[in-house]
Structure 1
Amino acid sequence: MKFNLMWCFVIILNIIFSSCSSIKNIKYFKDIPDDKLETVLAKVPYIEPKIQPDDILSVSIQTVDPNATQILNAGNLQNAAIGATSAGSTGSQSVSGYLVDNSGNIELPVMGKIKVSGSTTEEAREIIRIKTAEFFKNATVNLRFANFRVSIVGEVAKPATYVISNEKVTILDALALAGDLTIYGKRDNITLIRQDESGERKVVKLDLTNSAVLNSPYYYLRQNDYIYVEPSNSKIASSDAIQNRNISIITAVGASLISVIAILLSTR
């Protein structure tokens, strides 16, 4: 009886410790003490994304002449974009705007080609405003990304490519759009792939269990960022166990069928 009680105690302790370990693995910012009501972190420097070839820009130009305004805004063509909106709907979408060509230009009615790649949206807005002033007086220009998109795959609830209307997007915003990580997602090893203006790709690892990620230069996303959430070892082990179980079942069924066939043949 004493031996059995000891083993029961050991099993209970294992369950408790494994449960605590699981909670630690899924907790964000676990370095911040739970008993602190407020934690002040350093301000994250926000660097505005630069316009790149294949971006689609929504450009709106207003003048005192309604006819001129209509002509200037007629070039916002419909471009296909595949993915999911911030509202969560998926599929093919039409995005209205000007496509940045491989040379980094957009072509506006009346004004022709204007170089915008390498500029922020604010800088590009000023470039277009100065160009517009050569043709029209007191014109106002509004410009923003029409296809700011990020792709999120792996252990998230809703993996997809998301087209976002706001260019100031954090990795937490993106994961929230994807329905957060599943219970099996590795929060301490998020992979982010980014291509800069020169075409160079960078691969970085982000640890969401540590508040230091909030000060990372990769905390704010850029257009076309790719996020991959790696499955945990428990998910891999679970998948292997299911696969092994299925193999065992198939093997057992196959052996039983062979036995039945052998019995039937022997009775003839």
Structure 2
Amino acid sequence: MILKKYYIYGALCLAVYSCASRQEINYMKDIENIALDNSIKNSRSTLQPGDQLVIRVSAKDLDVVKPFNQNYSSTATVAQYSIASGNTQFQPVPTSGPTYVVDTDGNIDFPQIGLVDTKGENLETLKTKLAGLISTYVKSPVVDVKLINFKVSVLGEVAKPGTYVIPDGNTTLLQTLGLAGDLTAFGVRNNILIIRNVDGKFSQQRVDITSAQFINSPYYYLKQNDMIYVQPNTVKEKSARVDPNTGLYISVASVIASIALGVLALTRN
């Protein structure tokens, strides 16, 4: 009888151990109550040192803008989208035009104009700025600026952790998590860490994607070199600390207990 009680107790413990704690897995439950005004203001990333920009200048007379398109190459190809390490799919996107790298002081060296300060500028404002500078020499110039090395990293409890290059330099937290295959069942959805480096200053923010409030956060739209970390829940942390053979030990113990109960029943008969 005592052995039977121990067996029942062990079975109950095993059942409790195998049950994962409940957690909220729905995203943005209160989306209908959230105004999206602030998210639009946060959608533009300011340029950072190390950014690679393809800048093309055009006008009605293309010969007039040739001095502003030095080192032009019509065959250049840039891999603007990548899959995380362990996956081999790449989608090279043809691009043409000279490439400029933002230096450590936040400048680019532009033909005929010289150093152009990009600090505090995003792609749209830099287009306007360059068009204004070039209009001194060319009537109604059209400037196109593309950021070709915008990348973010996703680590932790996602299906495909890795570093992702974003084609247009504009992505949200949810879009990037989608690229990483979404969170696993063990990922904590209400405490995602985002680490950001802007102008050499690091900041961090915890984000709850089960609430739509984060749409108006400065961390909804990601910026260059952002790092996202999805921490595991307590069930995953506990399982990582448990001997990997624990399941085997429990199974063996259960078999032994069953045999012992069988023997005990036979001896009673």
Give the TM-score normalised by the residue count of structure 1: 0.71
Q: Which residue of 2 aligns with 1:72?
A: 68
- Structure 2 residue aligned with 1:50: 46
Backbone CA RMSD of aligned residues: 3.7
Aligned length: 231
Counterparts of 1:210-221 in structure 2, within 5 Å, are 210-221=211-222
Q: Say which structure, 1 or 2, has more relative contact order (CA 8 Å, 6+ apart).
A: 2
Q: Deviations over 1:32-77 (max 9, x none)?
A: 4xxxxx8342214132211121111221100233344454333468
Cα displacement (A) at 1:172: 0.3
Q: Per-residue deviation at 1:204?
A: 1.0
State, as a whole percentage, how many aligned pairs show the same letter. 31
Deviation at 1:159, TM superposition (A): 1.2
On the 8 A contact 1:59/1:143 being kept in 2, the answer is yes
TM-superposed deviation, 1:236: 2.1
Structure 1 regions of 5+ residues with no counterpart?
33-37, 249-268
Q: Which residue of 2 aligns with 1:145?
A: 147
Equivalent in 23, 26, 30 of residue 28 of structure 1? 26
Q: For the structure 1 residues 243 and 93, does the alpha-carbon distance in structure 2 shift closer, same or farther, using more than 3 Å as the test?
A: farther
Q: CA deviation at 1:206?
A: 0.8
* Between 101-110 and 74-83, the greater mean CA deviation after superposition: 74-83
Contact persistence 1:188–1:209 (CA under 8 A): yes
In 2, Cα distance between equivalents of 1:29 and 1:202: 24
Give the corresponding residue for 2:201: 200
Tell me the equivalent position of 2:210: 209
- Residues 106-142 of structure 1: CA deviation (Å, up to 9, x unaligned): 1222332211222122221111111111222221111
Q: Structure 1 residues 30, 63: closer, same or farther in 2, change over 3 A?
A: closer
Q: Which amino acid aligns with 1:59?
A: I
The offset of 1:89, in angstroms, is 5.1
Q: CA deviation at 1:105?
A: 1.2
Where does residue 252 of structure 1 map in the other structure?
none
Give, in angstroms, the shift of residue 245 of structure 1. Answer: 4.5
Partner of 1:240: 241
Which deviates the most, 76-85 or 234-243?
A: 76-85
Structure 2 gap ranges (5+): 250-269
Is contact 2:80-2:167 (8 Å) kept? no
TM-score (norm 2): 0.71
Residue pairs, 1:1-268, within 5 angstroms: 18=19, 21-22=21-22, 24-25=23-24, 27-29=25-27, 32=30, 39-45=32-38, 46=40, 47=42, 48-75=44-71, 84=82, 97-197=99-199, 199-243=200-244, 245=246
Q: Pick the structure with more strand per residue.
A: 1
* 1:187 Cα offset (Å): 1.1
